[in-house]
Structure 1
Amino acid sequence: MTRKNYIFTSESVSEGHPDKVCDRISDAVLDAFLAADPQSRVACETFATTDRVVIGGEVRGPGEVIQRVEEIARECVRDIGYEQEGFHWANMKVDSYLHAQSAHIAQGVDKEGAGDQGIMFGYAVEETDALMPAPIHYSHAILRRLAEVRKSGAAPDLGPDAKSQLSLRYEDGKPVEVTQLVLSTQHASENQTSDDIRAIVEPYIREVLPEGWLTKATEWWVNPTGTFVIGGPDGDAGLTGRKIIVDTYGGAAPHGGGAFSGKDPTKVDRSAAYAARYLAKNVVAAGLAHRCVIQLSYAIGVAKPLSIYAETYGTGEVSEEVIEKAVAEVMDLTPRGIRDHLQLNRPIYQRTAAYGHFGRAPEVDGGFSWERTDLVEALKSVIG
């Protein structure tokens, strides 16, 4: 039986976290290729350390984009806000080692098959309006708000690098209280104490958390080590694809292991994970379950998914077998079918690189299309 009373913790990291800097650059390169040619193939990885960014991977697309990679990387770092000794957008060295996609991989994709084997999970739950687990949803919200006030000039002492972590107490299966709140953020001066930083960030944290969740019993841990002036890739090396739990459900649901950033939508690591979230969200939005996981599996070069699995943790209004059949009927789950249905061959990925790939509002240009709930009526009709 599913537990009803417990404490669960999730963390998020800001756009200035070293790994997120790398995710951002990789996705910006991807967007540049897709803007130039929607059929481009991209698998771009980025490594960042003190005043150095290294970009590598396999691509197939317009050659002029490769010539712009250094410019793209610098613009990402500038927008994030790094102008510090040890990591500065104008001074860092950028090396690019992008090269042509393997013909052996391309042959499977060109036949409309999956770009790799693998398993992908999607999840939705009635804990927030976005149908996301509350701990990760609000961990993202805290850092997104702090980035806004940092960039607007309202909180100029905050730096780009930050991490948040929320432990939420659940009562009868619903989040009711923050028991522990952790916030570590880069700041301007070594003379600033943890209390000084808490005074800056606390009003913004209170803005984004639901009323009543912060109580007298909530324990705050703001910059618990004290000083956090050296941040970003100067303080810790970064690499694309190292924040897969931050990117998804904060540990509240299974993960297939594949990262997202820098991968074009022929890679099912990304596109099928988006499709699985889309299906799980629509199942919950349709009232077929209060909580749902969808798993999809693929083989390289094979178009049809090898398996479809649903789990509703005892919250379903219909059986999992019925849901599995229904989701296969309302959406073509071949790699091409997913790309067409969600219109993924567009430059919409750089914005996903921080604050989560899920739980975001669908955008007019097709960004976060997998967050739509436009399959609700189709699912109800199929199930009857």
Structure 2
Amino acid sequence: MQSRKFIFTSESVTEGHPDKICDRISDSILDEFLRYDPEARVAVEAMTTTGVVIVAGEVTSRNKLDIQEIVRNEINDIGYNKPEYGFDGNTCSVLVSLHEQSPDISIGVTSNHEREQGAGDQGLMFGFAINETPELMPLPITLAHNLSLRLSEVRKKKELDWVRPDGKSQVSVIYEDNRPKSIDTIVLSTQHSPDIYQDQLTEEIVKHVIRPVCTDWITPDTKIFVNPTGRFVIGGPPGDTGLTGRKIIADTYGGMGRHGGGAFSGKDPTKVDRSACYMARYISKNIVASELATKCEVQIAYAIGVAKPVSIMVDTFKTSKVDEEKIEAKVKEVFDTSPAGIVRTLDLKRPIYKKTSAYGHFGRRDPDFNWERTDKSEVLRGLDSS
């Protein structure tokens, strides 16, 4: 049979992208509540456009915070700290509207002597892993995130002092027989100062950003587009309205693998649309790390107020060494997928979430991201000989 050849594309954005500004604000507020009150219930959304940030949501906590100060500090830290950018944390308006969590929801997610903590909402959550990279992530999203991260690094280190905070990357990878072979196309757009010319911009981005990240996968046939419109001076909120949770594909697996639709940022770990996705990634990564399969997707689904998942599904895309039903049974035995069990297993009531707000929630080499551990792989590997 002739091998299948196709191209798969994923994108990433920098922390200065308007949507990522909002994710950063939401997760920074969450972190500050959890820092002083690990039992805080937080669901915070943000929106930004020219000259304004709006923060809204539900918070139940014994702690009080200066939300405006947090918002301004994060905007400045991202790099929007000069009036000439058209948006900066010192002068923008910050509107805040927060109220307590609905008591009807609180009933379902509060444990007592009679009942275990239930899920904060109904929903279906996915986790994914594949042996294409050392991080067990798809190659296209890994390269796209690394490009966006490198773009931010050259700005912050002033290696390229004309780069401004907003930026996007996109990588199209050629696959043959379901394995990545090379990069077909790279697209990178960066906000820039008005006094840089396109030829210089392209040359320096290729040299300092694209080549260091993608050299091993670039061929003479690889197409590279840098700022294809030719100009990107107006960026950030003046160029595009931003919203929390609007980059859910870039946050996860770049479109490879399914998505349940729930966003992550600004939500405390009682919200299973965040915490259960972390657990599903933890499970799928351990399955691939155990070499039971080369590719794995895990779905977990919940009913609001109910502790036990209504379903757990393991799909190895016909790459597993043992029957998937056996893997599912072992998963149910090894992993506690109740909302409280997820929080305990991954130690999620900590202020770790601001770091997740850009460059992906998965595949990161950060010791705080317990869902990236492969400490259950040996237990699962025993299935192969059973």
What is the TM-score of this pair, normalised by structure 1? Answer: 0.96
**Alignment pair present for 1:354 and 2:355:** no
The alpha-carbon deviation at position 307 of structure 1 amounts to: 0.3
Identify the match of residue 136 of structure 2 among 128, 131, 135: 131
Describe the SS at the equivalent of 2:237: helix
**1:290 counterpart residue number:** 294
Q: Deviations over 1:317-343 (max 9, x none)?
A: 111111111111111100000000000
Runs of 4+ in 1 over 3 A off after TM superposition: 1-4, 381-384
Identify the match of residue 299 of structure 1 among 297, 300, 303: 303
User: Structure 2 unaligned runs (5+)?
Assistant: 112-116
**2:51 counterpart residue number:** 51
**1:182 counterpart residue number:** 187
Identify the match of residue 321 of structure 2 among 317, 322, 338: 317
**2:373 counterpart residue number:** 372
Letter in 2 for 1:11: E
- CA RMSD in angstroms comes to 1.4
**1:25 counterpart residue number:** 25
The alpha-carbon deviation at position 234 of structure 1 amounts to: 1.1
**1:194 counterpart residue number:** 198
Name the count of aligned residue pairs.
377
**2:71 counterpart residue number:** 73
Q: Deviations over 1:160-201 (max 9, x none)?
A: 100000111012222121111100100011x43332221121
CA contact (8 A) 1:362 1:372 kept: no
Letter in 1 for 2:287: V
Q: Deviations over 1:184-236 (max 9, x none)?
A: 100011x433322211211221111252x212211111101111011001111
The alpha-carbon deviation at position 63 of structure 1 amounts to: 3.8
Letter in 2 for 1:175: P
Matches within 5 A, 1:105-116: 105-111=105-111, 112-116=117-121
**1:209 counterpart residue number:** 214
Describe the SS at the equivalent of 1:234: coil
Identify the match of residue 331 of structure 1 among 335, 355, 360: 335
Cα gap change, 1:141 to 1:369, in 2 (>3 Å)? same
The alpha-carbon deviation at position 2 of structure 1 amounts to: 12
**2:150 counterpart residue number:** 145
Describe the SS at the equivalent of 1:168: strand
Describe the SS at the equivalent of 1:221: strand
CA contact (8 A) 2:169 2:189 kept: yes
CA contact (8 A) 2:162 2:196 kept: no
Identity %: 54
Distance of 1:49 and 1:168 partners within structure 2: 34
User: Structure 1 unaligned runs (5+)?
Assistant: none
Letter in 2 for 1:290: T
What is the TM-score of this pair, normalised by structure 2? Answer: 0.95
Distance of 1:362 and 1:379 partners within structure 2: 23
Cα gap change, 1:34 to 1:311, in 2 (>3 Å)? same
Describe the SS at the equivalent of 2:132: coil
The worse-fitting range, judged by mean Cα deviation, of 24-33 and 172-181 is: 172-181
The worse-fitting range, judged by mean Cα deviation, of 270-279 and 55-64 is: 55-64
Cα gap change, 1:102 to 1:123, in 2 (>3 Å)? same
Distance of 1:97 and 1:346 partners within structure 2: 24
CA contact (8 A) 2:33 2:63 kept: no
Q: Deviations over 1:64-104 (max 9, x none)?
A: 22xx1111111111111012442111001111111111101
Letter in 2 for 1:39: E
CA contact (8 A) 2:322 2:383 kept: no
Matches within 5 A, 1:149-168: 149-168=154-173
The worse-fitting range, judged by mean Cα deviation, of 200-209 and 345-354 is: 200-209
Distance of 1:362 and 1:297 partners within structure 2: 27
